[in-house]
Structure 1
Amino acid sequence: MEFQAFSIRQLTDDVLKGAVRIPSFQRDFVWDFDHVAYLMDSIYKQYPFGSLLFWRTKNRLTSDKRLGSFKLPEAPDEYPVYYVLDGQQRITSIFSVFQTELEPIGERWPEIYFNIVSDNDYQESLFSPQENPDLDKHFPLSCLFDPVKYRQATDRFAQSPKILRAIDDLQARFKEVTIPVQILTTEERSSVAIVFERINRLGMELDTLQLLSAWTWNEDFDLIDAFRELKDELEDFGFAEVGDNTSLILRCASAILTGDSSPDRLIDLNGTRVRESFPIVRNGILGAIDFFRKQLRVAGLKCLPYSALLTPLAVFFAEPDGKDVTYSAETYRIIRRWFWRSCFSRRYTSQPKKTAQRDIEAFTKLKDGRKSNLDDIQTDLGDDYFSRNVFKLSSAITKSFILMLINEGPRSLLSGAEVDVDRVLQKYNRGEFHHLFPKAFLRENAVEDDQINCLANFAVISGADNRKISRKRPSEYRRLCVGGPEDFDAILKSALCPASLFDDNYDKFLADRDKILLECAQSHLENG
C-alpha cells in the first residue's frame, strides 16, 4: 500500500483527465448539499475528514459510473487509472464544488458559498448552498482556483480590507490543504474485492454482483439485466425468492463455472467466459429447481430445508442451451437419496460451505459417469425422532417432515378429498398444518406443550377440517369422517396415521405414528 497527499487542484485535474474514476460496483452519490457544505467547513477549519482509497491499475474496467453529475473523459491508454474504492462522497463533493470546466448532466447543483461576515464559529458551519446568494456576504468557492474569476469576485470588496483578508485566507487554506490518499496497486481483482468488502463492512456489504458486472459488461451483455431476466423466469416457476437471493445465485454460478461455491472465485474469471457461460448457469439453476418441483414436490425456496441444496444440484443440470441432461434410473435414485439423507441428517446445518463443496465434487463425478459417493451419508433418526422434535415451520427438520407428508399425497381426514398441496405449499404458513390430537383437548389432559407440538402430532389438514375437529377428542371427530372402513384406511395411510389415533390414547398414538413415520423416512433414505 502506498500513501500520497493530493492537493485539491491536483485531485481536480486528475479527475478532469479521466485518471480518477468511479467503478461501477460503487453505490450512487447520496450526499445532500448541506452535507457537502459541512465537508467544506471541515476542510476550512482543518478538522479531520478522512483519507481516500484508490486502486491504481492499467487493467481498465469495461464500465464505470459518472462522478456525481459529471460524465468523465477517457484517460489516455498509456495512463494508469485510479479507481475510487473509498471516499466517493468526498471526492465527488470536492470536484463538484471546485471544477469549472465540465457541464453537469441533469439538474445543476446550487453553488456552495462562504459566509464572509460571520464570526468563525467552531460549531456552526460557515458554508452553505445558496440558490439566490447575497453577494455582499456570500463568497463562491468555485472561483478559488480560477485566478480571473477570483479577482472578479473580490473586486467588489476593494474598499473592505478586512473582508479581502478573510477571502485571501479562505483561498490559502483550500490551496494549501492536502488530502491523504492510500493507493492499492494490484492487478488481482480478488484482492480488490476483499479490500472493498472490508472498508464497507460497517455499512453495506460488498455487492459481488455489482463488482462482477464491472468485469463482464459489454454493449451486448449486462450481468445485472441477465439476473433480472433470470428472476422473472424463476418467478414463473414459483421460486421468486431465489431471484431475490443474489448470494445464492452467485454461489450456484461459481459452483458451475469454477467448481467452488464461493462467489469470490468468480472475480478471477475472464469476463468473456462469464458472459458466454451465463446460459449454462441459467440452465443449471432452472434444471435443479425443476427437479425439486416435479420429483420432490418442493414448491418454493421457503419449502426447501436448506437453500444450499440448490447449489450442487445446479452443477448437475448445468448444460449449454439445446443440450438436455439425461440420466439413468439409478442416478435418479442416488439424487433422491442424497436429498433425503441431507435433509434428515441436517448435515448442512454446520459447515455448509464444506458440505456444499463435497457435494459439488460428488455431483460432478456422477454427471461424468464416474464413481460417486454422493449418497454416502450417515443418517440415524432413532425410534422417537418424530415425537422428540417440535414442529417449527422455519426449521429444516420440520420442512423435511412436511415434504415427506406432501409426497404421500395426503387426503382430508373428514371428506377423503385430495389435499391441494400446491396451494398448501404456496401459502406455507402455520395455518396449513394442524394437530391430530387437538391442542385444547391435550392441554385439558395436562400434556406439556413440547409434547403437544411434536412432529408426530401434525398432519396436513385443511383449515375447514381443523375448525370442525377443534377441541374434540379423536373418537368424537371420527364420526364426522365419511367413507367406509377400506376407504378410510387409505385416507389414514395417505396421512401416515395409525388407526389408534381414534382410541384417544395419546401415548399409544405417538408410539404408533412414530413407527409409521420412521418407516416412511427410512424408505426415502434407502430407496430415494
Structure 2
Amino acid sequence: MTSLENIPVKYSDLISEIETGQVKIPQFQRKFVWDIKSSAKLLDSIIKGYPIGTFIYWRTNERLRAVRDIGNIRLPEPKDGEYVNFVLDGQQRLTSLFATLKGLVIADEEGKTTDYSEMYVDFNAAEDQEIIITDPSKLPNNTFMKVTDLMEGSLTQLAAFPPEYHKSIENYKKIIQSYTFSVINLKNAPIDVATEVFTRLNVGGKSLTLFEIMVAKTYDSKRKFDLSEKYDELKEELTASHYDTIPSATVLQVVSILLEKDCTRKQILKLEKEKFINIWDEATSCIKQSVDFFRSYGISVSRILPYNALVVPFSYYFHLNKKNPTGEIKKRLEDFFWRASLGFRYSSGVESKLAQDIEKIEVIQNGGLPKYEWAVNVTEEFIENNGWFSTSKAFIKAILCLYAIKKPKCFDSNLNVIMDNSWLKIASSKNYHHYFPKSWMQKNYKDWDYFYVNHILNITIVDDFLNKRRIRTKSPATYMKTFEKENEDLKATMRSHYIDIEKDGIWENDYEKFYHNRLKRVTKEINKFIISQDSTGPLEKYEDIEEIEPETLE
C-alpha cells in the first residue's frame, strides 16, 4: 500500500546516499538549469539556518530507463533488488547542493560548462549580506575560501588562514554538516502514482505523457530494451514509407491490444514489462504490415489517414493473419475502413471503441460480416453539408483518401502527383489546389457562400510547383487550355481527379455544374466500398452519372 514517510536527513547521510547511487534523477525530470548564482543563494540560506524546502523521493526497487545521476556524474549503480530514491521534487536544489559541496563541473546541453568549485565563503560578510559568493576578486587575500576547501580541506589548509577567522571557519563547517534536510519518501507506489505525484508537484511544467511513463517503466538494461530508442528506430523505418506521423500513443495501443485486447491508459500502465518487451517486435511488424496495406491500397502518406487509431485494428488483423487480405476478406476490411473513417468512429472514446472493433476484425478474419452499431452516412446531402475543407477533420481526410487511391495525375504531364507528409500538413499547403481558385470565385461567383468555395469538392491534389507558379488565380478554362496543349492525355488526367473535362462545365467556367457533377461522382464512388446492412439502413440510390473507370487511371 502506498504510504508517505517524513524523515530528517543529515548532511553526511544525504551526500552518502547520492555518492552510493541510492538517489537518482528519473529520466522524466527536466534538465538541471540553475546557474551558479542561484546555487550560491541556496547554500547561503543553509549557512544562515533558513529552511530550503522539502525533498520528495519515490522510494522503489523498480528500475527506470536511463536515469540521470545527480549532477550528471557517473555514480555506482544500486544492486538488483535494492531500493532507489528517485527525486520527484527538489532536483534543482539537490543538484545545486551536491555540485557546490563537491565542486563539480557541469556542462549544459550546448556544451557550456560551469565550475561549481568557484564558490566562496566571505569571512567578513555580515549576516544581512551574502556570505556565499561567486566573485571574490574585490576581497582582500585570506578573507575568503572555497566552499570545497571549507568542507574537505586539510587542517594545514585551514590553519593557513589568519587566526581571527578560525572560529568562523569552524562554525560555518559545523552549520553545514549539522543541517537537517527534510525528506518525504513516497513508498510502495506504482509508477503511475509516482508520475502523477510528480505532475502535481510540477503544476507549472508539462504533464508527463503516457509514453514517457512507459519509457521509464519498460527500460531493461540486461535485454538492452529502451522504448524511446525502439520507437525512434520504428519511426525512422516508417519515414521511408511516409508514415512517420504515427504517434507513440498509437504504438502503445497496438502493443496493449495484442497483449490484452484492451488499450485504455489504465491497462497500458498495468502491462508487465517482460510481456511488453516480448511482444514489441511482433507489434512493430504488424504496424509495418498495416502501413504496407494502406500504401498498396493507395493511401501513400499517413498525413491523410482519417485516424491514426485505424492502425490499431489493422495491426490486430495482421497479428491474426500474416498474409495480405484478398477476396471477400479484403472487401470487408475496406468496408470497415470506410465505415470508421466516414462515421466519425474514433472522434471520441477511442480506447473503448478499439476494444470493440478488434472483435469485428476477428469476425472478418473468420470469414464473417460484422454488425456495426454506428451508422455511416454517404448521401450527397451529408457530404455537401460536411465538406468544409480542413485537414484536421477525419471526414475530409477520408475524401482525400478517396482522391489518393485514384492516383491523381499532374495536370501538365499526366505523371503521378508526388504526395509527401511535409506537403500535406495544413489546409493552406500549395499541394491542395482549389480547382476554381478562391480569389477568382470571389470576383465571379459573389452569390456563392464561401463555404461552398472552400469545399472538399473544389479541392484537387497537385504538385507544389504547378499550384504556385502556373495556376495561381487563373480561371479553370484559362489554365486548362494551357495544359491541353502540353498534355495530350488531359481527359484521362482529369478523370484521376473525379473531373470530366468535357461534361463538368470546365470550358465555360461553370462552377455550379462542376460542383454538382463532382459531388455525384464522389458520392457514388464512396458507396462502392460500403457493404449495405439492414442495421444501418439502406443506402440511397444515386442519380446516374458517367463513372470514372479504374482502368483509365492506370
Residue among 510, 515, 518 paired with 1:510 = 515
SS of structure 1 residue aligned to 2:299:
coil
SS of structure 1 residue aligned to 2:400:
helix
How do 1:58-457 residues align onto structure 2 when only pairs under 5 Å count?
58-60=61-63, 64-75=67-78, 80-98=83-101, 109-111=115-117, 112-121=119-128, 126-128=132-134, 136-142=142-148, 149=153, 151-160=155-164, 163-186=165-188, 188-206=190-208, 208-209=210-211, 211-214=213-216, 215-223=218-226, 224-242=228-246, 245-262=247-264, 265-295=267-297, 297-318=298-319, 324-325=322-323, 327-363=325-361, 366-367=364-365, 369=366, 373=370, 377-388=374-385, 389-411=387-409, 417-423=413-419, 427-428=423-424, 430-445=429-444, 446-447=446-447, 448-457=449-458
Q: Give, in angstroms, the shift of residue 442 of structure 1.
A: 2.3
Quick one: distance in 1 between partners of 2:59 and 2:420?
55
Quick one: distance in 2 between partners of 1:317 and 1:353?
19
1:49 to 1:207, Cα distance in 2 relative to 1, 3 A: farther
Q: Give, in angstroms, the shift of residue 431 of structure 1.
A: 1.7
1:85 to 1:134, Cα distance in 2 relative to 1, 3 A: farther
Assess if the C-alpha contact under 8 Å between 2:10 and 2:177 holds in 1: yes
Quick one: distance in 2 between partners of 1:492 and 1:69?
61
Q: Give, in angstroms, the shift of residue 452 of structure 1.
A: 1.8
Assess if the C-alpha contact under 8 Å between 1:54 and 1:86 holds in 2: yes
1:474 to 1:229, Cα distance in 2 relative to 1, 3 A: closer
Bigger proportion of residues as helix: 1
1:44 to 1:331, Cα distance in 2 relative to 1, 3 A: farther
The alignment's C-alpha RMSD in Å is 3.9
Quick one: distance in 2 between partners of 1:425 and 1:208?
25
Assess if the C-alpha contact under 8 Å between 1:57 and 1:81 holds in 2: yes
Assess if the C-alpha contact under 8 Å between 2:505 and 2:514 holds in 1: yes
Task: Give the TM-score taking structure 2 as reference length.
Answer: 0.78
Quick one: distance in 2 between partners of 1:304 and 1:325?
22
Q: Give, in angstroms, the shift of residue 283 of structure 1.
A: 0.4
Assess if the C-alpha contact under 8 Å between 1:54 and 1:181 holds in 2: yes
Assess if the C-alpha contact under 8 Å between 1:437 and 1:506 holds in 2: yes
SS of structure 1 residue aligned to 2:391:
coil
Instruction: Give the number of aligned pairs.
Output: 511
1:133 to 1:75, Cα distance in 2 relative to 1, 3 A: farther
Quick one: distance in 2 between partners of 1:258 and 1:201?
33
SS of structure 2 residue aligned to 1:431:
coil
SS of structure 2 residue aligned to 1:5:
strand
Assess if the C-alpha contact under 8 Å between 1:21 and 1:83 holds in 2: yes
* Paired AA for residue 421 in structure 1: V
Q: Give, in angstroms, the shift of residue 195 of structure 1.
A: 2.8
Q: Give, in angstroms, the shift of residue 423 of structure 1.
A: 3.8
Mean CA deviation greater in 340-349 or 350-359: 350-359
Assess if the C-alpha contact under 8 Å between 1:252 and 1:314 holds in 2: yes
What per-residue deviation string (whole Å, max 9, x for no partner) do you get for residues 463-504 of structure 1? 548866665555566655649xx9776555432235132354
Q: Give, in angstroms, the shift of residue 143 of structure 1.
A: 5.0
Task: Give the TM-score taking structure 1 as reference length.
Answer: 0.82
Quick one: distance in 2 between partners of 1:332 and 1:402?
21
Q: Give, in angstroms, the shift of residue 455 of structure 1.
A: 1.9
Quick one: distance in 1 between partners of 2:58 and 2:327?
53
* Paired AA for residue 422 in structure 1: I
Residue among 514, 531, 535 paired with 1:526 = 531
Assess if the C-alpha contact under 8 Å between 2:254 and 2:283 holds in 1: yes
Quick one: distance in 1 between partners of 2:65 and 2:421?
43
1:398 to 1:58, Cα distance in 2 relative to 1, 3 A: closer
Assess if the C-alpha contact under 8 Å between 1:56 and 1:82 holds in 2: yes
What per-residue deviation string (whole Å, max 9, x for no partner) do you get for residues 65-120 of structure 1? 332243333446675332222222322332333359x9999989441322222334
Mean CA deviation greater in 105-114 or 333-342: 105-114
* Paired AA for residue 92 in structure 2: Q
Q: Unaligned regions of 5+ residues in structure 2, if any?
A: 533-554
What per-residue deviation string (whole Å, max 9, x for no partner) do you get for residues 102-142 of structure 1? 999998944132222233446x6733278999762323333
How do 1:24-43 residues align onto structure 2 when only pairs under 5 Å count?
24-43=27-46
Quick one: distance in 2 between partners of 1:316 and 1:133?
75
Q: Give, in angstroms, the shift of residue 280 of structure 1.
A: 0.8
Q: Give, in angstroms, the shift of residue 152 of structure 1.
A: 4.2
1:157 to 1:212, Cα distance in 2 relative to 1, 3 A: same
How do 1:481-496 residues align onto structure 2 when only pairs under 5 Å count?
482=484, 490-496=492-498
Quick one: distance in 2 between partners of 1:344 and 1:453?
19
Tell me what 1:50 maps to.
Answer: 53
Q: Give, in angstroms, the shift of residue 279 of structure 1.
A: 0.8
Quick one: distance in 1 between partners of 2:20 and 2:420?
61
Assess if the C-alpha contact under 8 Å between 1:39 and 1:90 holds in 2: yes
1:131 to 1:518, Cα distance in 2 relative to 1, 3 A: farther
Assess if the C-alpha contact under 8 Å between 1:12 and 1:99 holds in 2: no
1:390 to 1:25, Cα distance in 2 relative to 1, 3 A: closer
Assess if the C-alpha contact under 8 Å between 2:8 and 2:180 holds in 1: yes
Q: Give, in angstroms, the shift of residue 197 of structure 1.
A: 3.8
Mean CA deviation greater in 203-212 or 510-519: 203-212
What per-residue deviation string (whole Å, max 9, x for no partner) do you get for residues 344-377 of structure 1? 222322333333343345435545x386747554
SS of structure 2 residue aligned to 1:519:
helix
1:38 to 1:338, Cα distance in 2 relative to 1, 3 A: farther
Mean CA deviation greater in 104-113 or 167-176: 104-113
Quick one: distance in 2 between partners of 1:70 and 1:250?
32
Q: Give, in angstroms, the shift of residue 231 of structure 1.
A: 2.3
* Paired AA for residue 272 in structure 1: E
Mean CA deviation greater in 137-146 or 468-477: 468-477
1:364 to 1:113, Cα distance in 2 relative to 1, 3 A: farther
* Paired AA for residue 53 in structure 1: I
Assess if the C-alpha contact under 8 Å between 2:258 and 2:283 holds in 1: yes
Quick one: distance in 1 between partners of 2:402 and 2:505?
19
1:210 to 1:411, Cα distance in 2 relative to 1, 3 A: closer
Q: Give, in angstroms, the shift of residue 237 of structure 1.
A: 1.5
Tell me what 2:539 maps to.
Answer: none
SS of structure 1 residue aligned to 2:181:
strand
Assess if the C-alpha contact under 8 Å between 2:48 and 2:127 holds in 1: no
* Paired AA for residue 496 in structure 2: S
1:494 to 1:191, Cα distance in 2 relative to 1, 3 A: same
1:132 to 1:22, Cα distance in 2 relative to 1, 3 A: farther
